[in-house]
Amino acid sequence: MNIPSQISTLLAGIILTLVSLWYGQNHNLLPIAASEAAPLIDQLFGAMLTIGTGIFLLVIFVLVYSYFRFRRDPDDLSDGPPVHGNIPLEILWTAIPAVIVLGISVYSFEIYNTESGMNPMDHSMAAHSKHSHQVAQMKGSAIAAPLIAQVDPVAKDAEVRQNAATDAIEEKIPLRQDAPAAGNVAPRAGSIPATGQEPLVINAAGMQYAWLFTYPEEIIAGELHLPVGRPVVMNITANDVLHAFWVPEFRLKQDAVPGRQSEIRFVPTKEGDYPIICAELCGAYHGAMKSHVVVESLEAYETWLQSMKVAQTNASDRAIALNPAEMTDSEYLAPYAQEAGVTPDLLHQLHPMS
Amino acid sequence: MTQAAQIQEQANRPAHPEKKGDWKQYFTFSTDHKVIGIQYLVTTFVFYLIGGVLATMVRTELATPESDFVSREVYNSLFTVHATVMIFLWIVPAGTGGFGNYLVPLMIGARDMAFPKLNALAFWMIPPAGILLMSSFLVGAPGAGWTNYPPLSLISGKAGEMIWILSVLTLGTSSILAAINFLVTIAKMRTPGMGWNQMPLFCWAMFATSILAVIATPVLAGALILLSFDVLIGTAFFNPTGGGDPIVYQHLFWFYSHPAVYIMILPVFGMISELISVHARKPIFGYKAIAYSSLAICGLGLIVWVHHMFTSGTPPWMRMFFMITTMIIAVPTGIKVFSWLATLWGGKLDDSSALLFAMGFIALFVIGGISGVMTASVPFDIHVHDTYFVVAHLHYVLFGGSVFGLYGAFYHWFPKITGRMMNEAWGKAHFWLSFVGFNLAFMPMHKLGLEGMNRRIAEYDPKFATLNLICTIGAFLLAMSTIPFIVNVTWSWLRGEPAGDNPWRALTLEWMTTSPPPPENFIADPVLATGPYDYGLAPRSTEVDVPFSDASNPALSAGPSSTLRAKPDPVVAANPSDRGTESNNR
């Protein structure tokens, strides 16, 4: 086989390495990193992109060079050299990819572990924390959420049951809180134990076509507000079909599965307003199922929380005064739908499980 | 007529009485593997065009951020049926059923597939299943994605869902029947003297593919049957309202559907090995490495399915296990790519469209493979899962990979199938239009996905508008690229330059018979004189003088058990002096 001289091979190798390294670090393909996990994942992507660029350039070089250098004349009917194989070379190019993918596997494992992904003890403690149970007991909180916000527990339960949709959710889709299958499901993104801070526990419920977030003090919101730097544990479920909670700037995603509870943890690190996207096909208006997460200072977050409390107290009083039992679901939900980010035409698509 | 005479007449009756060139035979339940192969190729190509029209409509919708071209429900149906058609009605049946059927018996020197009637049955399940799937547009096509995950599939329109299930079940059954046929044919019907390691690499690839299809496809059938119970009679296997678990469906579905990727790509790997060796005029580098890596991919391909479910509530240990298995599958795939490159290096490359498509295949498949390793990494996949990054990745593997490979195979084996050459100028126009259109359409999707565009949406954030417009322009170019191909095939089939029996001077057995081959492939049993890729070993004549005339050779019109065929002259594959003459002991 016609092998190029050692010097030119060495030079080509150096150029290839430099170009790959440069592109791996300067690709500009990802949005800003706004969670503790994000820079780690970006590093991993950068490393994989560096290796990938090198391999791609090598293959393209061989293809293009061969295409022009080894083209035969139309009249040349001779064959190429009868090289059947080369055992050392074959071992080499089996070993190199094997080492590369094992290296990437180990690196990925390390990143995953740093996100506490492999720490079930950590999870079980958080899952049994006070907030977690307190919020999770509100089965079917999603659709009737504004109603149940500020009333006493007994009345709350009774009113929840007045809503047919909530009833269906409560009785037909059993949430498997703490079930073994549903227990260890999350990428534990963010170094929650290390910060020493009590995590903010939020319940997220996906439904066609909105997210509803339930805060510890039974504040219900269609958008997410988070104080910067505080760990968040989010319990996720779905009321109807599969959804997936994804914030690209956090680099994290977790499916919302009806009948199961999954969990995602992260520490938002940069103030800003980021999109929350449903990444799992959930119906005709899947593309419109959007919300946003506002990462803000602790003061701004507290202010927002207070304003929500006031708004929901008023809303709840009004709802009770209007006697929701005499209203249709649509009439009852209308005032809250807008707040939850659900537009009227989306609401028409909302239907209980058949 | 005496009984003996009747038996004699029966024995003399050809197994495949169809006359060569009779177009009507393509509309019959012919049992000739070549007729069935062409039936597969033409039928699946028609479905490819239909799938392409659906894809073009999807991209038209995505040309602007708003949902303004079709309704959202129709949009979901478009991408659902597009994917189903492309996978189940184009790539899988074209690669295995089309080229597999046409080539495998020829390549191993057999007269037909092991079970010709089963073969015909497998093909004739395809058109009704395809028409059935298309008919779903009349009653509300399925819109839950080609994965058809419950519970969404359970609350969508029942008629559309059931049509989808029935159609895919039928296509899966066809695939299993075809695979059984290939396994038996390759294992039992190789010509004497052809051991496993003398077999063309396409046959190795088909063998590995068939093992995968036989093991994995029944699992899909099971999942779909249970799903149909949930849809039709209200059981709750996957329905959470009755305590069922939708995640179980995902496990069953991906147990088939990840191997399905290899069912789509492995035959193409085989085709590329054939093409590159012939058109570079060099022995394939590392024959055994390529052959056994197909089996390795087959084995590993069965234990990687959970990487589609990293965000589905999968426990950490499972994520790690499937991350490692998925990564490892890059090794046998890499072996193939490097072997192809080494085969090209220093060869005598001709300027054919077939080689161009094969080289395009390698370039694009490498991009798909690299992004595949990336998505195997759990932390990174959690970010890009269900985004346009994955859409880009799968199209680089399945369009840049499978479809470019299939196109290369069309250009390479067209002379064998029709006896005529394809036009090279049109072929090159086809390649460059496809190559540029494809990269314009799918390269920007990597960035779209990384930036935050999720898949399966009719409307998107306006900040993604420019890249999406580029994708749409690329998709239109890609759609247009089929025009030169269709013109070329049609014109060349009717009026193309006569090809002769072996225009590429290849050494595999399919080139050792006439173009197109006669009924039962060889006028006498072929004898192996060289390995399939022994280029450059010694000067040889690859022009084989094969008499083909019923009048001059009464044996040809006789049945396989006729006494006229008791002592046929062997058709020698190539210059026997290379390896010494082998006797025909068949």
Note whether A174 contacts B535, CB cutoff 8 Å. Answer: no
Alpha carbon A128 to its chain's center? 23
The low-confidence residues of chain A, meaning pLDDT below 50, are: 120-172, 177-186, 189-191, 319-325, 347, 350-354
Query: For B125-200, where are the alpha helices, taking DSSP H only?
Result: 126-139, 152-155, 158-188
Residue B249 has pLDDT above 90, yes or no: yes
Alpha carbon distance B268, B266 (integer Å): 5
Q: Which of A76, A85, A181 sits opposite B285 (nearest CB)?
A: A85
Give the A window 173-232 contacts with B, CB below 8 Å: 173-174, 181-182, 184-185, 187
pLDDT score recorded for residue B409? 96
Note whether B281 contacts A72, CB cutoff 8 Å. Answer: yes
- Disruptive mutation site among B58, B333, B378, B383 for chain A (greatest number of A CBs within 10 Å): B383
**How many Cβ pairs within 8 Å bridge chains A and B?**
298
**For residues B395 and A115, which has the higher predicted lDDT (pLDDT)?**
B395
Eight-state DSSP code of residue B420: B
- Disruptive mutation site among B454, B460, B541, B579 for chain A (greatest number of A CBs within 10 Å): B454
Q: Which of B316, B380, B386 sits opposite A118 (nearest CB)?
A: B316
Note whether A79 contacts B535, CB cutoff 8 Å. Answer: yes
Highest mean predicted confidence (pLDDT) among A117-121, B475-479, B495-499, B535-539: B475-479
Contact indicator for B484, B76 with CB cutoff of 8 Å? no
Note whether A108 contacts B380, CB cutoff 8 Å. Answer: yes
pLDDT, average across residues B325-350: 94
The token pair at A275 is: 């999109």
What one-letter code names the amino acid at A98? A
Note whether A244 contacts B349, CB cutoff 8 Å. Answer: no
Any residues with CB less than 8 A from the CB of A258 and at least 6 apart, and which?
A173, A237, A238, A239, A240, A241, A242, B151, B240, B241, B246
Confidence of residue B536 (pLDDT cuts 50, 70, 90): confident
The Cα of B376 is separated from the nearest Cα of chain A by a number of Å equal to 9
Count of CB atoms situated within 10 Å of the CB of B39: 26
pLDDT score recorded for residue B546? 43
Give the A window 106-145 contacts with B, CB below 8 Å: 108-109, 111-112, 115, 117-118, 120
Q: Which of A56, A67, A173 sits opposite B359 (nearest CB)?
A: A67
Note whether B72 contacts A184, CB cutoff 8 Å. Answer: no
Residue B236 has pLDDT above 70, yes or no: yes
Q: Can you state the percent helix, strand and coil of chain B, rounding each to 5?
A: 70, 0, 30
pLDDT score recorded for residue B95? 93
pLDDT in tens, B205-218: 999 999 999 999 99
DSSP-derived secondary structure for B180-239: HHHHHHHHH-PPTT--GGGS-HHHHHHHHHHHHHHHHHHHHHHHHHHHHHHHHH---SS-
Count of CB atoms situated within 10 Å of the CB of A330: 12
Least confident of B50-54, B91-95, B173-177, B563-567: B563-567
Note whether A80 contacts B324, CB cutoff 8 Å. Answer: no
pLDDT in tens, B5-30: 776 666 555 555 555 567 788 888 89
Note whether A90 contacts B289, CB cutoff 8 Å. Answer: yes
pLDDT score recorded for residue A165? 33
Alpha carbon distance A110, B140 (integer Å): 47
Residue B534 has pLDDT above 50, yes or no: yes
The Cα of B369 is separated from the nearest Cα of chain A by a number of Å equal to 9
The Cα of A215 is separated from the nearest Cα of chain B by a number of Å equal to 22
Instruction: Say whether residue A245 is in contact with chain B using an 8 A CB cutoff.
Output: no
Least confident of A213-222, B43-52, B111-120: A213-222
pLDDT score recorded for residue B216? 94
pLDDT score recorded for residue A270? 94
Residue B280 has pLDDT above 50, yes or no: yes
Number of H helices, E strands in chain A: 12, 10
Alpha carbon distance B228, B158 (integer Å): 9
A179 neighbourhood in chain B, CB within 8 Å? none
A277 neighbourhood in chain B, CB within 8 Å? 452, 454
pLDDT score recorded for residue B412? 96
Confidence of residue B354 (pLDDT cuts 50, 70, 90): very high
- The rounded percent of chain A whose pLDDT value lies above 70 is 64
Considering just the CA atoms, what is the radius of gyration of chain A in Å?
27
Alpha carbon distance A191, A202 (integer Å): 17
- Disruptive mutation site among B311, B312, B456 for chain A (greatest number of A CBs within 10 Å): B311
State the ipTM, two decimals.
0.87
Alpha carbon distance B357, B401 (integer Å): 10
Helix (H) or strand (E) holding B572: strand B571-572
pLDDT score recorded for residue A344? 52
pLDDT, average across residues B457-478: 96
Instruction: Say whether residue A57 is in contact with chain B using an 8 A CB cutoff.
Output: no
Confidence of residue B45 (pLDDT cuts 50, 70, 90): very high
Helix (H) or strand (E) holding A281: none
Any residues with CB less than 8 A from the CB of A162 and at least 6 apart, and which?
A324, A325
pLDDT score recorded for residue B212? 95
pLDDT in tens, A212-266: 999 887 788 899 999 999 999 898 989 889 999 999 999 999 999 988 888 888 9
Confidence of residue B524 (pLDDT cuts 50, 70, 90): confident
- Disruptive mutation site among A83, A114, A285 for chain B (greatest number of B CBs within 10 Å): A83
For B450, name the nearest residue in chain A, comparing CA atoms only.
Answer: A30
pLDDT in tens, A312-353: 776 655 544 444 445 555 555 555 555 555 555 554 554 444
Alpha carbon distance B96, B259 (integer Å): 14
A50 neighbourhood in chain B, CB within 8 Å? none
Phi, psi of A283 (to 5 degrees): 135, -170
For B347, name the nearest residue in chain A, comparing CA atoms only.
Answer: A80
Note whether B152 contacts A260, CB cutoff 8 Å. Answer: no
Residue B558 has pLDDT above 80, yes or no: no
Q: Which of B335, B371, B536 sits opposite A82 (nearest CB)?
A: B536
pLDDT score recorded for residue A149? 34
**Cα distances (Å, whole numbers) of residue B365 to A206, B88, B90, B393, B401:** 37, 20, 18, 9, 5
DSSP-derived secondary structure for B19-72: PTT-GGGGGS----HHHHHHHHHHHHHHHHHHHHHHHHHHHHHTTSSS--SS-H
Residue linked to tokens 């269609």:
A222
Pairing outcome for strands A232-238 and A224-227? unpaired
Phi, psi of A204 (to 5 degrees): -115, 130
Mean pLDDT of chain B: 88
pLDDT, average across residues B358-383: 95
pLDDT score recorded for residue B24? 81
Residue B342 has pLDDT above 90, yes or no: yes
Instruction: Say whether residue A348 is in contact with chain B using an 8 A CB cutoff.
Output: no
